[in-house]
A = this chain, B = another copy of it.
Amino acid sequence: MTQPSAPTNEASQEALPRQHRHYTIGELARMFEVTPRTIRFYEQEGLLAPRREGQKRIYREKDRVRLKLTLRGKRLGFSLAEIREVVTMYDAMPDGNARQLWRLLEILADKRDNLERQLEDIRLMRMEIDDVDHRAREVLRSLGHEA
């Protein structure tokens, strides 16, 4: 219904080893179900830095991973600023000075704490949900009996 044939760039690269693939903004957008606008915005916010081929943005594997991590961070409620802080420090690691590295460890510990609290929150909310679910089914059952 969509692509009759046409060996697109997208398809033609499918067999390549991931490391050497590159992506257009549209491809990435479809992969992660976001809009190109979002991806450009992340670049503007310093989270991505694709190469250019003429005017067009070319994303490499590294960029794809960064986008993936960014979106995961978002789903967990981190702000773009927080995410940027980590990823940029990560990139600056090899030649980073000790102070920066300690700061990074600090941030990481912080994130970890955050995750632990989220785990607890999830556990609790699961219980609540199960409870509400149970009650709702009870009421439905009684409705069925009286009807």
With an 8 A cutoff between CB atoms, is A57 at the interface? Answer: no
List CB contacts (< 8 Å) of A102-147 with chain B: 102, 104-105, 108, 111-112, 115, 117-119, 121-122, 124-126, 128-129, 132-133, 135-137, 139-140, 143
Of A8-16, A20-28, A36-44, A91-99, the stretch lying at the interface with chain B is A91-99
Residues of chain B within 8 A of A115, CB atoms compared: 122, 125-126, 129
Chain A at the B interface: SS class: helix
B72, A104: Cβ atoms under 8 Å? no
With an 8 A cutoff between CB atoms, is A34 at the interface? Answer: no
How many A residues, CB 8 Å from partner? 38
Given pairs A75-B121, A108-B136, A115-B125, 19 additional interface contacts (CB within 8 A): A72-B121, A73-B125, A75-B117, A75-B118, A76-B121, A77-B77, A86-B132, A93-B132, A93-B135, A94-B139, A101-B143, A104-B132, A105-B136, A108-B133, A111-B129, A112-B129, A115-B122, A115-B126, A115-B129
- Can you name 18 A-B residue pairings with CB atoms under 8 Å? A69-B128, A73-B125, A75-B118, A76-B77, A76-B121, A76-B122, A76-B125, A93-B135, A94-B139, A104-B132, A104-B136, A105-B133, A108-B129, A108-B132, A112-B126, A115-B129, A119-B119, A119-B122
